[in-house]
Amino acid sequence: MIKLVNVCKSYFLGDEEVKAVCNINLEIKDKDYIGILGTSGSGKSTLMYLIGLLEQPTSGKVILEGKDVSKLSDTDLSKIRNKTVGFVFQQFNLINRFTVLENVLLPTKYSKRDLDFDPIKRADELLTHFGIFDRRNFFPNKISGGQQQRVAIARALIMKPKVILADEPTGNLDSKTGDEIIKLLSSLNKELGVTVIIVTHEKEIAKKTKRRIYIKDGKIVEKYL
């Protein structure tokens, strides 16, 4: 499904080159449930951006469904992301001036293709599935953190993506609510067959995934140290 071949990503701080990830070789298969585990500064977020097509590699290839997408334009990458990848972030990234329903619908507003579903009907189905339909007309700052993260997950799913990338999805939640969110992500993988990738620094969260990838100093290593 997604394959990284000898992928490196560098940034420049002044004249100094910083290698965020280096020589990454990784294959993510359909219906995978993966934990990417690493400490702060390990390169795990950069790796997520590369997998999610938010960043292009400095060198190497990113292969999506057999096609090299490493050198595509930002416009073309945006189109692919919109229909292929859903993102869930630690900070929820909801817009407080929009209602819950309007937030979930946002990706459909930016879509450049004709939709094969009724956006409002699908949004309502997702909100019902996640137990927050009664909050559809609330604003994000009027609901709990756990409810906000459920809204963010519904938004990530609205375009029927093949992959969900969750970056520290429990970071702003208490342990009980965090456990509920991880169970929800697991159910998306088991029940809907969505490929789920959780980026985290917490071993206990990573242990709940089917496969773990450990990142240290921008490289994949055998163990999390």
pLDDT at 225 over 60: no
Q: Alpha helices, DSSP H only, in the chain?
A: 44-51, 74-84, 100-109, 119-129, 145-157, 175-192, 203-206
In a domain, 119, yes or no: yes
Contact present, 85 and 53 (Cβ < 8 Å): yes
In a domain, 196, yes or no: yes
- pLDDT interval class at 112 (50, 70, 90): confident
pLDDT at 223 over 80: no
Tens digits of per-residue pLDDT, 176-194? 999 999 999 999 999 999 9
In a domain, 17, yes or no: no
User: How much is the pLDDT for 20?
Assistant: 94
The reply to whether the predicted model has a pTM over 0.95 is no
In a domain, 201, yes or no: yes
- pLDDT interval class at 164 (50, 70, 90): very high
- What CATH number did the domain enclosing 144 receive? 3.40.50.300
Tens digits of per-residue pLDDT, 71-80? 899 889 988 9
In a domain, 10, yes or no: no
Report how far residue 202's alpha carbon sits from residue 225's, in angstroms, rounded to the nearest whole number: 12
In a domain, 212, yes or no: yes
| Overall number of domains in the chain | 1
In a domain, 169, yes or no: yes
> What's the domain range around 198?
29-58+71-221
Q: Give the tokens for residue 67.
A: 């096609």
In a domain, 165, yes or no: yes
